[in-house]
Amino acid sequence: MPTIPQLAGLDVIDDPDVLEGLSHDEAEWAPYGKALAAVRPRTTDDVRRIVRACAERLIPIIPRGAGTGLSGGANAVDGAMILDLSRMNRIVEIDTGNLTATVQPGVVNNDLKAAVAEHGLWYPPDPASAPWSTIGGNVSTNAGGLCCLKYGVTRDYVLGLEAVVGGPAGDYGTVVRLGRRTTKGVSGYDLTGLFTGSEGTFGIITEITVRLRPARREAPRTVVGAFGSVVAAGEAVAAVTRAGLLPAALELLDRATLRAVEEWKHLGIEADAAALLLAQLDTPGDEEASAVAEVFRASGALWAEQSTDEAEAEALFAARRLAYPAFERLGPVLTEDICVPRSRVPEMLSLIEEIAARHGTAIATIAHAGDGNLHPLIITPAGDDQGRRAAQAAFEEILTAAIGMGGTVTGEHGVGLLKRDGMRQELGAGVLAMQVAIKQTLDPLDLFNPGKVIG
């Protein structure tokens, strides 16, 4: 790597093995290039120096949190500088008077949750990757999670951001503060909203102020429903919505998922049914839990019960969180992240089964089902080229079907590299042109995470 004087004193990594590990996320199908080096800043000023130095040399900059992304969003391009933000992991302030927290981007989601819990507060966004993923990564992908059905996604909690940006005058390395700390505020365009979910393509987020809620007073109740088919579970999801019930979480796991997790972790889960629905209810009393169980039964559940065994309920939610790594052990996983209108969940689940059968691919499905956000996981044995082609064809067909139902190609993981074609299909020429115009204005040199989202 050429000497870059402005990086003197920073933690620069050019060891090829370490660099390789930092050059990609968890999306096993997404390509990645050979990075020049990685650097681990600790302060906003470090980031400012790095961005300025890279801009002078036209070195692409790839921001990275924990690298748990599932779309190739943090994947390197050739000759890039990887900006590993995991060392910027300080909780700057927990403001109990205003129910906010301000953090550096590398703070891990669960660490923020634990810190605010000590003050009787709660940071709700809970991607299944919460033990590892960072708030910077969560904001940059606008991460969802299990309880966003009732409590919203990351965007609903982001009040303000500090970022190191580029244009419009090509003035790379400028530090800006976007948004606010107040509960309300409409001064100017919503640039905080624009940066949230921008996947590192507009600049580097160096500080984040999030809204908090008071901690839940009661432990949530869990209702488990077992179904004879995945489609029947989907019918129950649609029926819960129609009944006006609002669980904190409503998750679906199919039999293949339960088996994969059980074979790996031995949590004691019996995988007899074709699919399980897990509902979490957090309104006081048992009324809501009983109503959900009743809707499950009326929708044809083999059985539906409120769990009285906390350990069992926790094991089932653990299985949901462990689903992706459980399949990763079996071969490369191509992860879908479609989101369809909730009434069309059963239809989409049925179509996924039909597509899997037609292409001869193994597809397991987990879902934030209550949101209509489905994750068919397409699994191919390593080295099976024909299987890979079939998986790609199935992947694309599922995206097209979701768009056809009025849905989207990505509910929470982001476009990254894997869903660029799907996004183009979904958005159309007019919206794509607006996106390109915004990118060219904010990053005229195309240095911030080039080739992701658009391009």
Ligand X SMILES: Cc1cc2nc3c(=O)[nH]c(=O)nc-3n(C[C@H](O)[C@H](O)[C@H](O)COP(=O)(O)OP(=O)(O)OC[C@H]3O[C@@H](n4cnc5c(N)ncnc54)[C@H](O)[C@@H]3O)c2cc1C
> Closer to ligand X at the Cβ: 85 or 399?
85
- Name the region of 11 (left: φ>0; alpha: ψ -120 to 50; beta: rest): beta
123 near ligand X, rule: CB under 6 A = no
200 near ligand X, rule: CB under 6 A = yes
> Closer to ligand X at the Cβ: 200 or 247?
200
Q: Among 23, 100, 102, 140, which residue interacts with ligand X (rule: CB under 6 A)? A: 140
Q: What tokens were used for 260?
A: 């994969």
Task: State yes or no: cis peptide before 332, omega within 30 of 0.
Answer: no
Q: Among 41, 60, 69, 166, which residue interacts with ligand X (rule: CB under 6 A)? A: 69
Q: Among 44, 100, 133, 361, which residue interacts with ligand X (rule: CB under 6 A)? A: 133
47 near ligand X, rule: CB under 6 A = no
Q: Among 89, 100, 102, 134, which residue interacts with ligand X (rule: CB under 6 A)? A: 134
Q: What tokens were used for 436?
A: 């390109």
- Looking at the DSSP bridge assignments, the partners of residue 374 are 338, 367
d(CA 210, CA 399): 32
Q: Among 129, 192, 365, 408, which residue interacts with ligand X (rule: CB under 6 A)? A: 129
Instruction: Give the residue closest to ligand X by C-beta.
Output: 137
Total of residues contacting ligand X (CB under 6 A): 37
Q: What are phi and psi of 30, to 5 degrees?
A: -90, 135
Q: Among 41, 60, 124, 127, which residue interacts with ligand X (rule: CB under 6 A)? A: 127
Q: Which residue has the tokens 């080096």?
A: 37
Using CA atoms, how far residue 202 sits from 11, 435, 436, 445, 452, in Å, is 24, 11, 11, 11, 11
Residue 429 CA neighbour count, 13 Å, CB half? 0
67 near ligand X, rule: CB under 6 A = yes
26 near ligand X, rule: CB under 6 A = yes
> Closer to ligand X at the Cβ: 102 or 134?
134
- Least distance from ligand X to the Cβ atom of residue 105, Å: 4
- Least distance from ligand X to the Cβ atom of residue 138, Å: 4
49 near ligand X, rule: CB under 6 A = no
Task: Show Cβ contacts of residue 403 under 8 Å, excluding neighbours closer than 6 positions.
Answer: 409, 422, 425, 426
- Least distance from ligand X to the Cβ atom of residue 161, Å: 9
d(CA 277, CA 255): 11
Rg (CA), the chain: 22
> Closer to ligand X at the Cβ: 300 or 325?
325
d(CA 122, CA 430): 40
Binding site residues, ligand X, CB under 6 A: 25-26, 63-70, 73-74, 85, 105, 127-129, 133-134, 136-138, 140-141, 143-145, 199-200, 204-205, 324-325, 412-413, 449, 452
